[in-house]
Amino acid sequence: MKWNDVETAQISTRSPEIRASGFFDHSSFVIRHYSLLSFAGLLATLAPAFAAEPIKLHPDNPHYFLWRGQPTILITSAEHYGAVLNLDFDYAKYLDTLAADKLNLTRTFTGGAYVEPQGAFNIARNTLAPAPGRFICPWARSDEPGYANGGNKFDLDRWDEAYFKRLRESTAHASRRGIVVEMNLFCPFYEETQWKLSPFNAANNVNGLGHVGRTNVYTLDRHGGLLAVQEKMVRRIVAELREFDNVYYEICNEPYFGGVTMAWQHHMADVILEAQKLGRSSAQAGSAVQLISQNIANNTARIEKPHPAISVFNFHYAAPPDAVAMNFQLNKVIGDNETGFRGTNDAPYRMEAWDFILAGGGLYNNLDYSFTVGHEDGTFVYPANQPGGGNPTFRKQMRALRDFIYSFDFVRMHPDNSVIKGGVPPGLTARALVEPGKAYALYLRPSLTTQFSARWTGQVEPKFSEEYTFYTISNDGARLWINGRQIINDWNEHGEQENAGKITLEAGRKYDVKLEYFYNGGSAAMKLLWASSSQAKQPVPSSQLWLPGGSGNGLKGEYFTGQDFERPWQTRDDPQVNFAWGSRSPFPVPAHAGEATLEIELPPGSYKAEWFDTKSGAVAKTEDLKHPGGIRKLASPTFAEDIALGVKAVSR
């Protein structure tokens, strides 16, 4: 039967996908002269738009999502957040690439307040740094020239409708590809270079708003008139995306930098909620609204007094995944939605992903620098000094993780490392996600050190009688005392940074020195240098350092796990302090290349055990077993670095 055998058909275009496609212009449309097969194909293409509810927390296990009727974990390796605001970026090709790898999340910045200069953070071809004149945002351009990165200034009283069309169309394309969009509304200004480009900066708008320092923008009382503009932008974006089922909102990227206050974040959560209620019919009033997420910290932190509307708590660089266990009792999704600063190789980020998901996390986003303008298929080969990784091979590893975890009924599982009774090789760690008696997902990987502190003590002997400048180069915090006087105090989390302090010393005299350091993720570095009018700047040499008591050259190094100097780790004599550990441990960790025989406690029953290659996604070894109960030894195949194990009960 052909469609033209029937007179007419009317289909509602309330769906945002249909509207965003530009396919139709009215609230309903009439189709004639199409086969029923063609019409069925159209409905199949647009089917996600008719989903009853937006993505939400799974009612049976809110550590995970429920989306389009299916339990969902969000796993991706996605671009650096500029897909919408960068006019040169082909978002369709990019999203098609994610979908081809079965990845289901992208993270997008609005551009309403924040955009980056080219070269920021040493990122090559940064998608968040559009070329001059190629930045688009919610605000319309005025007739007045003078925007810092080309073109006219912005008018914060007028919208740029072309931006919202691009926003809707990209979100619709993501929806058709089965991809969820994390819409990140705001971002702090880390440095003046970002504030210089912001439409919120008074130099870049014609409204006389934003005559404030960059650390006052996201406050309730020092914002220089910007709060009302921020609220207006949130309402408009929520209105534009209200009916998409593949959207949730993150209030602010990394609000723990740049002066962002918690009161402001909670206020914005209220604004999002209020905006979602506007325009809803009485029939929709009780239906689910789009989720709200909050970025909590780099690495880990305990969440205190959360806003009741927050459903997703995101962390950055969350390896090891302590943030999950620390906040599991909240019964919300815990995510790791930014990675980096651990080199460009695949291994650190693959292990971070597997570790985080097997710890009970519900969201993982690797920051993938291979997506750039002109390489929206993720094939850009970035330089070795890039602050992160990502590439086609890595994305296949993320698909392997997805396939592994989706082979389980993960909604019925919870983290429980107590089932692992032994057999973990030295230098490795193991974790387990468990449905007791039915399913066990386990992961082995090399141990990772991401939080430690160190204290070096001894004496320093100058060669000249004059003023010396001491320097620390560190990632993260450092503080230095010479002869009991503190001359450097930078006890903050940051990227690699130099600090300096001056003190006058006498030649040949030994002065007490104490240097303290903490590391909280990223690329670990700690260096102690000096210079004077007679001494070129250089690392303080071992010949001028003395161990406590003068027993030899160097400094006594005391290392601690954590950042509070309370849990001793190891002690050694360091000839000098000139370290660039990166993501490696300060102490040698033997690389694993061999087998493991895990001891797992299982109840009586029949099981199938499969060892899973985390790089290829292949099953490397299978074992069928009938187990009387108690501890069972399971021998792995030979592996290097990491491996996964799935054990599932089999009905007989």
Other beta carbons within 10 Å of 410: 23
- Together in a domain, 518 and 373: no
pLDDT value, residue 52: 59
Q: Assess whether pLDDT exceeds 50 at residue 47.
A: no
The vertex-591 CA angle with 590 and 594, nearest 5°, equals 115
Rounded to whole angstroms, the Cα distance separating 361 from 364 reads 8
Comparing CA positions, the residue from 555, 325, 381 lying closest to residue 459 is: 555
Is 650 within 8 Å of 616 (Cβ atoms)?
no
Place of tokens 């992903």: 353
When pLDDT is averaged across residues 262-267 and rounded to a whole number, the result is 98
- Together in a domain, 244 and 320: yes
Residue 549 domain boundaries: 452-582
Please state the separation of Cα 515 from the chain's center in Å. 31
Residue ending a domain, choose from 395, 413, 431: 413
- Together in a domain, 31 and 126: no
- Together in a domain, 317 and 387: yes
- Together in a domain, 567 and 649: no
Comparing CA positions, the residue from 50, 51, 15, 7 lying closest to residue 31 is: 7
pLDDT in tens, 429-466: 999 999 999 999 999 998 876 689 999 999 999 999 99
- Together in a domain, 541 and 465: yes
- Together in a domain, 191 and 296: yes
Is 518 within 8 Å of 453 (Cβ atoms)?
yes
**How far is CA 394 from each of CA 38, 295, 384, 391, 614, rounded to the nearest angstrom?**
37, 25, 16, 5, 10
Residue ending a domain, choose from 550, 565, 582: 582
Token pair for residue 504?
């006058």
Q: In terms of C-beta density within 10 A (0-12 exposed, 13-18 middle, 19 or more buried), how is residue 381 classed? A: exposed
Q: Assess whether pLDDT exceeds 60 at residue 168.
A: yes
Q: Assess whether pLDDT exceeds 90 at residue 25.
A: no
Q: Based on the structure, what is the number of domains in the chain?
A: 4
Token pair for residue 320?
């090891």
pLDDT in tens, 153-163: 999 999 999 99
- Place 583 in a pLDDT band, splitting at 50, 70 and 90: low
Give the rounded percent of residues in the chain with a pLDDT score beyond 70.
89
- Together in a domain, 428 and 534: no
pLDDT value, residue 493: 85
Q: Assess whether pLDDT exceeds 90 at residue 58.
A: yes
- Together in a domain, 460 and 502: yes
pLDDT value, residue 580: 86
pLDDT value, residue 67: 98
CATH of the domain at 527: 3.90.182.10
pLDDT value, residue 49: 44
**How far is CA 159 from each of CA 114, 150, 278, 279, 520, rounded to the nearest angstrom?**
16, 19, 19, 19, 41
Token pair for residue 465?
């009688």
- Place 285 in a pLDDT band, splitting at 50, 70 and 90: low
- Together in a domain, 486 and 595: no
- Give SS3 for 565: coil
- Place 28 in a pLDDT band, splitting at 50, 70 and 90: very low
pLDDT in tens, 502-561: 999 999 999 999 999 999 876 789 999 999 999 999 999 999 999 999 989 999 999 998
CATH of the domain at 132: 3.20.20.80
Rounded to whole angstroms, the Cα distance separating 375 from 206 reads 36
pLDDT in tens, 177-201: 999 999 999 999 999 999 999 999 9
pTM of the prediction? 0.82
pLDDT in tens, 295-306: 999 988 999 999
Per-chain mean pLDDT for the chain: 90
- Together in a domain, 524 and 550: yes
When pLDDT is averaged across residues 79-96 and rounded to a whole number, the result is 98
Q: Assess whether pLDDT exceeds 90 at residue 85.
A: yes
Is 265 within 8 Å of 220 (Cβ atoms)?
no
Sign of CA dihedral 449, 450, 455, 461: positive
Residue ending a domain, choose from 549, 582, 615: 582
- Together in a domain, 641 and 549: no
CATH of the domain at 440: 2.60.40.1500
3-state helix, strand, coil in the chain (%, to 5): 20, 35, 45
